[in-house]
Amino acid sequence: MKIPFNRLILLLMLPVMALQAQTDTNEPLILPIYDNDKPPLAYKEKGEYRGIYIDLFKAVLEEAGIRYRFVPMPASRNQRMFEQGKIAMACCVNPAWYKEPQQQQMQLFSYPLFYTQDMFVFPPKKTFSIDDLAVLRDKRVALVRGYGYIGSENFSERIDLKNEQAVLDFIALGRADVAIVNERALDYWLARYPGAVEKGPVHDRATLHIQLHRNWHELLGPLNQAITTLLDTGAVEIILAKASTPLPQTR
């Protein structure tokens, strides 16, 4: 069946019209947040989602005057919906994590919000030198499932676990030779369980940004201005400080 030319044009324009309608009516953007506890970066407390990533994202959006509604979802679904143009932005990521050609064509990145680093972690009294990642070729390495790691081709055995807490619990029991964990998550966990693992050297450092879909490119300016304001006023440091390590507790 042939489709009249005018109707064909209308069908092709519907996605653009829907996007324009959302912008014109100032409907809140549906934005993803982690659905998996990873304190102090993201977690649920008394029915409310909190943490460094969520609090920073919220502060930037509110400073930029962007209406939003957070929806917790798995990271894999988040990225899939972003690539389909169903999600405007996500936080907090590094541009180096998304280098595929199709990703490069659809994404923009804000100014950096803050930096993070991953640390090597050892079972108690079982540290070893990691001057060269080649030493990991006969080691079992505990990692967070779904994450990419520099030098992973050197890992003898990769043990993937649900989140940072699961990785730390695992390495504390000596079930792997070494782990790689976000430093803030590690310090948070160690404050509760001092001495349960040993903190090693830095594995990797990265700046974290807001990833913006090009369909919403007009929001990049307000986002960058908001980030600049939050950094200049010290608001970012205040948010980071509020995610202070908890009081130690019995395991």
Q: Provide the pLDDT confidence category of residue 103 given band limits of 50, 70 and 90.
A: confident
Smallest Cα–Cα separation from 69: which of 51, 89, 96? 89
CATH number at residue 102: 3.40.190.10
The residue type found at 202 is: V
pLDDT tens digits, one per residue of 215-242: 999 999 999 999 999 999 999 999 999 8
Peptide bond into 91 cis (omega under 30): no
Residue 129 sits in the same domain as residue 190 = yes
- By residue range, what is the domain housing residue 61? 5-114+207-242
Go through 169-184 and write b for each residue having 16 or more CB atoms within 10 A of its CB, e for each that does not: bbbbeeebbbbbbbbb
Smallest Cα–Cα separation from 175: which of 161, 189, 193? 161
Q: Provide the pLDDT confidence category of residue 34 given band limits of 50, 70 and 90.
A: confident
Place of tokens 């310090």: 187
38 vs 246 pLDDT, higher one? 38
pLDDT tens digits, one per residue of 105-159: 999 999 999 999 999 999 999 999 999 999 999 999 999 998 889 999 999 999 9
Query: Which residues partner with 90 through β-bridges?
Result: 211
Dist. CA 212–CA 100, nearest whole Å: 16
Residue 189 sits in the same domain as residue 218 = no
Overall average pLDDT of the 155-178 stretch: 97
Q: Provide the pLDDT confidence category of residue 168 given band limits of 50, 70 and 90.
A: very high
What number of CA atoms fall less than 13 Å from residue 103's CA on the CB side?
13
Residue 232 sits in the same domain as residue 108 = yes
Dist. CA 220–CA 64, nearest whole Å: 10
Question: Would you say residue 24 has pLDDT above 60?
Answer: no
Residue 100 sits in the same domain as residue 196 = no
Residue 125 sits in the same domain as residue 169 = yes
State the pLDDT at residue 9: 45
Question: Would you say residue 251 has pLDDT above 50?
Answer: no
Residue 71 sits in the same domain as residue 22 = yes
Question: Would you say residue 7 has pLDDT above 70?
Answer: no
**Cβ neighbours of residue 231 under 8 Å, at least 6 residues apart?**
none
Overall size of the chain counted in residues: 251
Q: What is the DSSP code string of 136-151?
A: GGG-EEEEETT---TT
Q: Is residue 212 domain-resident?
A: yes
Residue 109 sits in the same domain as residue 126 = no
Q: Is residue 223 domain-resident?
A: yes
HEC-encoded secondary structure of 185-208:
HHHHHHHHCCCCCEEEEEEEEEEE
Q: Is residue 248 domain-resident?
A: no
Question: How many domains, the chain?
Answer: 2
pTM recorded for the entire structure = 0.83
State the pLDDT at residue 249: 55
The answer to whether the CB of 175 falls within 8 A of the CB of 168 is: no
Q: Is residue 150 domain-resident?
A: yes
Residue 75 sits in the same domain as residue 195 = no
Residue 92 sits in the same domain as residue 177 = no
State the pLDDT at residue 247: 44
Residue 171 sits in the same domain as residue 227 = no
Question: Would you say residue 1 has pLDDT above 80?
Answer: no
In whole numbers, what is the pLDDT of the chain averaged over residues?
A: 88
E-strand stretches of 57-155: 68-73, 89-93, 107-109, 114-122, 140-144
